Structures are given as structure tokens and as C-alpha cells.
Amino acid sequence: MPNAVIVDAVRTASGKGKPGGGLSGVLPVDLLAQTLQALLARNDFDLALIDDVIAGCVSQTGEQALNIARTAALVAGLPESVPATSVDRQCGSSQQAAHFAAQGVIAGAYDVVIACGVESMSRVPMGASSQGEKPMAPLSRRYPEGLVGQGISAELIAARWGFSRAQLDEYSARSHQLAAEATATGRFDRETIAITRPDGTQHTLNETVRAATTADGLGGLRASFENPEFSARFPEINWSITAGNSSPLTDAASAVLIMSEEKAAELGLTPRARFHSFAVTGSDPLLMLTGVIPATQKVLARSGLSIDDIDTFEVNEAFAPVPLAWAADVKADLAKVNPAGGAIALGHALGASGTRLLTTMLTNLEVGGGRYGLQTMCEGGGMANATIIERLG
């Protein structure tokens, strides 16, 4: 059975996902196309050998509609013979793209494939694909009391796991401090590529990282989701989720070059890691964000590894309670979690985040000399992906 290996991985710096953000002037197709070009420019081989391009994208409407993966591949200059498809598993879309790509290699269906993702939240706002409709309304037949948005789910997790507002803010300040340190020391240099804006200037720095962030400063922010209706329904909620302990709206793209180990050797390319194990699971759609816990348990069981065998973790920081609840339940060392900061600082560009976390996890393994990395992401509707990779070399 072939090994699926990571030859290279890149990401853009984050842009604030609002008008005026550093990447807001870049069309999402161009954002992904430039990312693909940067990845391939670093790896010399015949591009006609690429079997597929699989891109995660959540809001597949407007400028991100009509299979953005194929459009971006053509704009990037890939041969017309290279197909592409777009995937939506909510926040885990490009992590799922990486799963599909690697699993295709392992199955012998692919030799060379790109997994990638993009989201321009400044140009295609979150929720735009529903166009004012209510596609989840039929779920009321199964959940008559009604499901809730992710902010309320995060409040429920904070309350049920007993996290105080101070704990959430301390964790969030840590994310910014670690990301700022990683930026200052050059830790991100290899993984981050420049994006050229329409005016010819380049976007190279993570715009969402705030080096001066402190827990005390975050403590002054008001709760974002406080609502009398939900206070009555969920009296345990303490209203602790704010803009400061949540991931910001973000524009970004990321991409990973995946091959069979044999094909990489044939092309004279040096793999950086191999895919070890995969898992995906559903979870309670009311809590929604807790799927990272069973997904992690499932991938560890499949891998034959224990939580202590893992050298670094990337757990998407959609909201601060998510990695905190995850670490508490799986008994992970929090010092190994998002050691270069997470989405609270680096941003969460929905469809791009899966391969962004994978890219950063690869960096963390190489910088720290670790062997195994585990990545997991909570996803809308109550789901989660988990991936274990093994560093090579």
C-alpha cells in the first residue's frame, strides 16, 4: 500500500476579513491561484502529472461559486488536463480535502495531488451561500427545541466544562503572544507566501495577530452573544464569549502538495512528512464544536498511538473553550497545543483553515524535532476531522 507524503505546504498570511483588510482587494480565485503558483514554483516537476486539485471552500457562492478549485487551477496556469473539485465540510473543508487527497494516493487512484483551501470572508461573507433561506429548518423535526449558532454552542461548552471568563481570555492572550513570537523569530517564514494585490503591493504579514494583547485587555470586551431568550433556555450560560476569545473573520488561502512516496522519489523531491492516520466523526449538533474530542479518540485508536506519543497538536481555535475542553477530555499537555498560536490570533478563513493548520503543524514538527503531529477541527453541524502525520527526515 503506497505511503501518502507531504512534499511541501504553504499558506498566505492572514488578512482581516472585512472591507479594507489586507487581502480584501484580491478576488478569492486569485488568492487561491497565487497560492497554488507559489507552492508549485518551489517544486520542479511536470505539472501535467497532477492528478487532481481538491479545494476546501465553505461559502461557495458569488465570487467563490462554480467550483472555485477548477477556476483557480486554470488561472494559476495548470494544464487544462488537470481536474479540480471543491469540498464543503464547513470549517474542516480543506482538512477533508487533504484526507481525500492522501486517501486517494494510498488507494492507488492518485500519484500527485494538491489539497488546498480558500475563503475570502471580506468579499463573500459567512452565511452568504444560504442567500437568506433557512436550509436547516427541516432539522426541527428531529430537534424540536431548536439548534443554536456556534457562539451559543461555545457558551454552552464554557459553562458545561466550567471555564471562567478569565481562563478563556488567558488562553486567547496566549494565542496572540505565541503567534507574535513565532512571527518575530521567523518561525513562519518557510510556510508563508506573499500575495500580490491589484495595486502591485504585497501582503506578507498576519494582519490578525495583535502582539500587545493581554488577558486584562480582553477582559474589558463585552459578551458577543448575550440574549434573554437563550438565558432562559440555558440558565447555566455565564456569557463569556467575546470577539477577543473567538477567531476573527479572515481572508486566506493554503495548499499542500501530496504524492506517493514512490512518485516523490522518482521526481527527485524530498518528502517532509507522511500521513499516518485519519478519522472523521459526527457529534451533538447542539454543542456542535465538541466533535474534536471523539475524532481525536478515534484517530488515536486507529493509529495505535497514545496521546503522549504526539509531539504537537493543532486544534482549531474557533472559540477558546474548544481547545480547552478538548485538552481536558483527551488529557493532552496544553503546552503542546498550537505552540505557534492558533486561529484566535492567526485567523480562521473557514475553507482555508484545514490546510493552514496542517502547514503550521508541519513547521512545528520540524522546528521542534518532533515525530508525530495531530490536527483536529470542529465543524458546523456537529462534526470533526482528525489527522496524524509523521515527520520524515
The whole-angstrom separation of Cα 104 and Cα 102 is 5
Contacts of 204 (CB under 8 A, 6+ apart): 13, 192, 194, 195
Phi, psi angles (nearest 5°) of residue 349? -90, 55
Phi, psi of 164 (to 5 degrees): -80, 165
CB-count burial class (<10 Å; 0-12, 13-18, 19+) for 229:
exposed
Nearest to 274 by CA among 259, 296, 252: 259
Nearest in space to 114 (alpha carbons), one of 264, 256, 223: 256
- Cell numbers found for residue 292: 474534536
> Catalytic: 116?
no
91, 99, 176, 276: the catalytic one is 91
Active-site residue among 176, 203, 276, 348?
A: 348
Grid coordinates standing for 275? 500521513
Reported as half-sphere exposure (CB side, CA atoms, 13 A), residue 307 has a value of 17
Amino acid identity of residue 379, one-letter, is E
* 8 A C-beta contact, residue 255 and residue 355: yes
Question: Cell numbers 493552514 label which residue?
Answer: 356
82: left (phi over 0), alpha (psi -120 to 50) or beta: beta
CA dihedral 349, 355, 356, 360 (to 10 degrees): 160
Q: Which of 176, 203, 276, 378 is catalytic?
A: 378
Q: Where are the beta strands (DSSP E) in the chain?
A: 4-12, 15-16, 52-56, 84-87, 112-120, 192-193, 195-196, 202-203, 250-260, 273-282, 312-315, 372-379, 383-391
Distance, CA of 96 to CA of 380 (rounded, Å): 13
Q: Which residue has the cell 472523521?
A: 280
Active site residue 378: yes
Q: Closest Cα partner for 359 from 26, 38, 29, 1? A: 38
Catalytic site positions: 91, 348, 378
